[in-house]
Amino acid sequence: MLLIAFLYMLAISWRKWSDLIVDYGQQLYVPWLLSEGQVLYRDIHYIYGPLSSYLHALLFKIFGPGIIVLAWFNIVLIAGLAWILYLVLKDITDELTATAGTLTFITVFAFAQYVGGGNFNFVGAYVYELPHGIFLSFLAIQQFAKYARNPEPRRLAILGFLCGLIYLTKPEVFLAAFTALVMGLAMVHRWANPQQPFKKLLVFASFFLIPSLGFLVYFSLHTSVGTGLETLISPWVHIMNSELRSLPLYQWMLGTRDFGSNLIQAVIYFFFISGLLVLIFLVNRVFKSFIESQRLATGLFGLLLTGLILLLSGQIHLLSLGRPLPVILFIFAGYLFYKIFNDSQAKTPRPEIWVETVLTVFSFLLLLKILFNTHIYHYGFALALPATLITVKIFLYDFPRWGRHFGANLSFCRSLSLILVLIFISVHFKLNSNIYQLKGLSVGTQRDRIVDYHSFLDSRGLIFNAALDYIDQNFDKGIEFATLPDTIMVNYLSRHKSSTEYIILNPGVWLLVGNEAVIDSLKRSSPLYILLVDREYPEFGLKIFGKDFGAGILDWVMKNYLLEKQFGKTPFTGQGFGIQILKQKETQEYVNE
């Protein structure tokens, strides 16, 4: 069943995973340039860890650049992660729960697209450091489960090395995984293997440092030791930047922008989900004799439950079902710590509860970025995955056993809980399918083909193809050009390098670098062409390039370049999507004022 679901999701989403305009071009362009010999951070401005970019660069070096190269590699990672999830869940529950949890990952998260923009899935992620960090985190949790049962030094070394790799992905993933795993190791040391704590710490720390030291040596050889150190801490500097955290996008993600409303919705949906479980329990108690004597009782009540949910579906916002996840995890974590305390009092080590606690703490900490506005779409495709799996486990494994202690029928509670999980999967599968059906226009060719929205829905694919054809016919091979503000996909698909290291210039990056650094870079590189590609940023609160941000950059460009060709509407006017190709004026004396 899992294989069929995997292949079906792959089929309906084939080449439709990524967004043509937003973010994903960077995930292609960076490894392409690295495979050509450029150095991350020195030649290319980048705000995330180096692991994914260099891993993909290696793939491009071996197989040649291509969107399909990265797609196949990350599809293999999805299959690997599905297997790891199954093993982790099977370790702390049973086969049914493990299968349902893995099915949830495959159908709801792995190939997800619930909003107009792509990139929020594990195949074509907006930044691969996020899903790669999730993959490594679950692999580390699986290794921790083995260590908890058999505390061998080699397991500790593997855990340290995996944590070191996670550090090189995204800070929020590392913070969640490292905190949870260190807490788990402390539990194992305290109650199962208290000998030689300093030796264990040395083993873990030594192997933790290996990946960072490897990159430090690499970057130091190409720049300096000081610069190498800066590259390894730069993602943390960026994430702590107060100007970035004050942008509407990040306030919306965290949920502080409309805190009161978000809190109310989280409570409402928590009681809605809890109410369904209470209803199952009460039905079981009231109709206990009928349920136990009639084989068809479970199916009958299952149909009634499904009908009730369909009746309420008009009042339920399907993409808000993730809102109560932090509340659920907080309560469940308290329950687990209570069990751990009881186990410690009885001096009975329970490795499975340590694993479950590590997974729960990791899941909760991963939600901190979207804590008051938790959602499964957008960044939730990765951040809400572990929490959702924990919730599936509660529904299918813990709730029926809790009910049994109070006289409920375990099989009945579990069957109806399974129906709830399958309904959850089905509605999200339908949402995915609806979005993917809107896509059918190919942009790019062969190894770099992306399927974008049909032209009658959005003309940007046709405009993009026209611009690529013009570049192919009129630009000499090897010519570098800058694309502003951030659609580096044009450079990648046309195989023309950017003349500036600032390949992404959304409002967030602009706040970090400013106008002058970009203008200086353009002056130094003196590109023959500059492309202006329409893109608006309402989510940042700085909507239009050249007006709300980057005005100095666009003014400089317009004073020193002339329009050569336009496709679609004039960019940054709000009239619709368009691309302008500007050519440098004959004089090399740039106008500064």
Within a domain: residue 546? Answer: yes
The reported pLDDT for the residue numbered 53 is 96
Q: What percent of the chain has pLDDT over 70?
A: 96
pLDDT band of 579, cuts 50, 70, 90: very high
Residue 312 pLDDT exceeds 90: no
Separation of alpha carbons 275 and 163, rounded Å? 39
The reported pLDDT for the residue numbered 197 is 76
The reported pLDDT for the residue numbered 305 is 80
Task: Indicate the range of 143-152, 285-294, 350-359 predicted with least confidence.
Answer: 285-294
The reported pLDDT for the residue numbered 300 is 82
The reported pLDDT for the residue numbered 343 is 65
CA 280, distance to chain mean position in Å, is 34
User: How many C-beta atoms lie closer than 10 Å to residue 304's C-beta?
Assistant: 12
The reported pLDDT for the residue numbered 367 is 96
Residue 84 pLDDT exceeds 70: yes
The reported pLDDT for the residue numbered 347 is 61
Domain extent at residue 493: 443-584
CB 537 within 8 A of CB 494: no
CB 108 within 8 A of CB 380: no
The reported pLDDT for the residue numbered 142 is 96
Q: Taking the CA atoms of the chain, what radius of gyration do you get in angstroms?
A: 26
The reported pLDDT for the residue numbered 420 is 92
113-154 pLDDT, tens digit each: 998 888 899 999 999 999 999 999 999 999 999 999 888 889
Within a domain: residue 559? Answer: yes
Separation of alpha carbons 533 and 431, rounded Å? 30
Within a domain: residue 575? Answer: yes
| Nearest residue to 281 via CA among 410, 397, 390 | 410
Task: Using alpha carbons, list the distances in angstroms from residue 308 to 241, 279, 301, 313, 417.
Answer: 47, 11, 10, 9, 14
Between 245 and 264, where is the model more confident? 264
pLDDT band of 296, cuts 50, 70, 90: confident
Residue 543 tokens, joined:
């909507």
Task: Using alpha carbons, list the distances in angstroms from residue 95 to 425, 428, 429, 434, 521.
Answer: 18, 23, 22, 31, 57
Within a domain: residue 256? Answer: no
Residue 298 pLDDT exceeds 80: no
The reported pLDDT for the residue numbered 38 is 94
Task: Indicate the range of 169-173, 276-280, 347-351, 472-476 predicted with least confidence.
Answer: 347-351
Q: Give the angle subtended at the CA of 520 by the CAs of 220 and 569, to the nearest 5°.
A: 115
Residue 588 pLDDT exceeds 60: no
Within a domain: residue 315? Answer: no
- Average pLDDT on 375-401 reads 94
22-33 pLDDT, tens digit each: 889 999 999 999
CA 284, distance to chain mean position in Å, is 39
Within a domain: residue 483? Answer: yes
- Average pLDDT on 208-212 reads 95
Task: Indicate the range of 158-167, 193-202, 356-365, 528-537 predicted with least confidence.
Answer: 193-202
Q: Give the angle subtended at the CA of 20 by the CAs of 15 and 26, to the nearest 5°.
A: 100
38-79 pLDDT, tens digit each: 999 999 989 899 999 999 999 999 999 999 999 999 999 999
CB 355 within 8 A of CB 183: no
Instruction: Say which residues have a Cβ less than 8 Å from residue 580's Cβ, sequence separation at least 6.
Output: 531, 532, 563, 565, 566, 567, 570, 571
214-261 pLDDT, tens digit each: 999 999 999 888 888 888 888 887 777 777 778 888 888 888 888 899
What integer best gives the mean pLDDT of the chain? 90
Between 294 and 418, where is the model more confident? 418
CA 556, distance to chain mean position in Å, is 36
Separation of alpha carbons 487 and 536, rounded Å? 12
Split into its structural domains, the chain has a count of: 1
Separation of alpha carbons 512 and 483, rounded Å? 19
Within a domain: residue 489? Answer: yes
Report how many helices (DSSP H) and strands (DSSP E) the chain contains, helices first.
25, 6
User: How many C-beta atoms lie closer than 10 Å to residue 8's C-beta?
Assistant: 15
- Average pLDDT on 503-514 reads 90
The reported pLDDT for the residue numbered 593 is 44
Residue 563 pLDDT exceeds 70: yes
CB 88 within 8 A of CB 142: yes
pLDDT band of 591, cuts 50, 70, 90: low
Within a domain: residue 88? Answer: no
3-state secondary structure of 579: strand
